[in-house]
């Protein structure tokens, strides 16, 4: 059982919804980014999504794109991202870390080498947005063979014909993208999300976690109320970009976590 599986099993046993929070590794620099990451579990974060900076993040809106640019300009690399996870693991051996990004840096490193390094750093799962199910042999299956969950995205345009393919070989949880388009755009609607979550649940026993368009404690509560939990990314990255003290950023994250957990 992975840390992700264990976390969601524990949440289910408590009757609680999950709160997943995203930050970009190295934004705006390594030290500040790591300080936020280390404070996330105490702020109520159940699963940490750690963004891997990339030069061409096609699924991301301006907020995440700019975060990636800031991180890259500050010298963030794949090695430093894995080192950040490893530093976090020195103090926390239970909170799951999901590495989220694009395939190019992994391909350049070499899949087997990357997977060994990610596992050694304490990474528990991968979300690689530009690898469709047709490419499972590339990374998904090798990752799962090494004990890492491979988390897939389903969207409003994933129809009933496509959905079984998306769910095949997915593990950890299913990330449901609540809106069409890029990250950080429109606000998510629980009324629209609820029937989609039920549709996905008919095809899998995995937790369904909803992201994109969750920006406030109220929305976190509403979205988590119709799913197994929610993800917040752009709203947190905006707080980091504002230059606020780490304590204020973590207080904002706690307000979102409290919202999700009150669902």
Q: pLDDT by residue (tens digit) across 130-152?
A: 999 999 999 999 999 999 999 99
Give the percent of the chain with pLDDT over 90: 92
Burial of 126 (0-12, 13-18, 19+ CB in 10 A): buried
Residue 179's pLDDT band (boundaries 50, 70, 90)? confident
Q: Which of 60, 136, 196, 239 is catalytic?
A: 60
- The model's pLDDT over 196-223, given as tens digits with 9 standing for 90+, comes to 999 999 999 999 999 988 999 999 999 9
- What would the 3-class secondary structure string for the chain be? CCHHHHHHHHHHHHCCCEEEEEEECCCCCHHHHHHHHHHCCCCCCCEEEEECCCCCCCCCCHHHHHHHHHHHHCCCCHHHHHHHHHHHHCCCCCCCEEEEECHHHHHHHCHHHHHHHHHHHCCCEEEECCCCHHHCCCCHHHHHHCCCEECCEECCCCCCCCHHHHHCCCCCCEEEECCCCCCCCCCCCHHHHHHHHHHHHCCCCCCEEEECCCCCHHHHHHHHHCCCEEEECHHHHHHHHCCCCHHHHHHHHHHHHHHHHCC
- Please state the domain count of the chain: 1
Residue 59's pLDDT band (boundaries 50, 70, 90)? confident
Assess whether 5 carries a catalytic annotation. no
180 pLDDT above the threshold of 80: no
Q: What is the pLDDT of residue 61?
A: 84
Assess whether 60 carries a catalytic annotation. yes
Mean pLDDT of the chain: 95
Q: What is the pLDDT of residue 183?
A: 59
Cis peptide before 76 (omega within 30 of 0): no
Residues 236-240 have a mean pLDDT of 97
Q: Which of 49, 136, 196, 239 is catalytic?
A: 49
Q: Which two tokens stand for residue 90?
A: 């020195």
Task: Report angle CA 20, 241, 92 to the nearest 5 degrees.
Answer: 40
Do the beta carbons of residue 8 and residue 173 sit within 8 Å? yes
What CATH number corresponds to the domain at position 138?
Answer: 3.20.20.70
pTM of the entire structure? 0.96
184 pLDDT above the threshold of 60: no
Do the beta carbons of residue 143 and residue 126 sit within 8 Å? yes
112 pLDDT above the threshold of 80: yes
185 pLDDT above the threshold of 70: no
- The larger pLDDT score, comparing residue 58 to residue 199, is at 199
12 pLDDT above the threshold of 60: yes
93 pLDDT above the threshold of 80: yes
- Parent domain of 210: 3-261
């Amino acid at each position: 059982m992975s840390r992700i599986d264990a976390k969601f099993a524990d949440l289910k046993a408590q009757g609680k919804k999950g709160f997943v929070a995203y930050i970009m590794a190295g934004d705006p620099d390594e030290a500040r980014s790591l300080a936020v990451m280390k404070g996330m579990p105490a702020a109520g974060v159940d699963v940490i999504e750690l963004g891997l900076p990339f030069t061409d993040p096609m699924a991301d809106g301006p907020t995440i794109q700019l975060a990636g640019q800031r991180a890259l300009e500050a010298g963030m690399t794949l090695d430093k991202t894995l080192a950040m996870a490893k530093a976090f693991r020195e103090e926390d051996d239970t909170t799951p870390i999901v590495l989220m990004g694009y395939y190019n840096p992994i391909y350049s490193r070499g899949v087997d080498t990357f997977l060994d390094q990610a596992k050694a750093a304490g990474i528990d799962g991968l979300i690689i947005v530009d690898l469709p199910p047709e490419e499972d042999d590339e990374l998904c299956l090798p990752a799962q063979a090494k004990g890492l969950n491979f988390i897939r995205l389903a969207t409003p345009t994933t129809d009933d014909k496509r959905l079984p393919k998306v769910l095949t070989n997915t593990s950890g949880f299913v990330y449901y993208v609540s809106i069409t388009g890029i990250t950080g755009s429109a606000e998510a609607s629980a009324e629209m999300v609820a029937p989609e979550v039920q549709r996905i649940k008919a095809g899998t026993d995995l937790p369904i976690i909803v992201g994109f368009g969750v920006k406030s404690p109220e929305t976190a509560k509403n979205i988590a109320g119709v799913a197994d939990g929610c993800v917040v990314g752009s709203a947190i990255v905006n707080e980091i970009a504002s230059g606020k003290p780490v304590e204020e950023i973590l207080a904002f994250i706690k307000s979102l976590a409290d919202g999700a957990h009150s669902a």
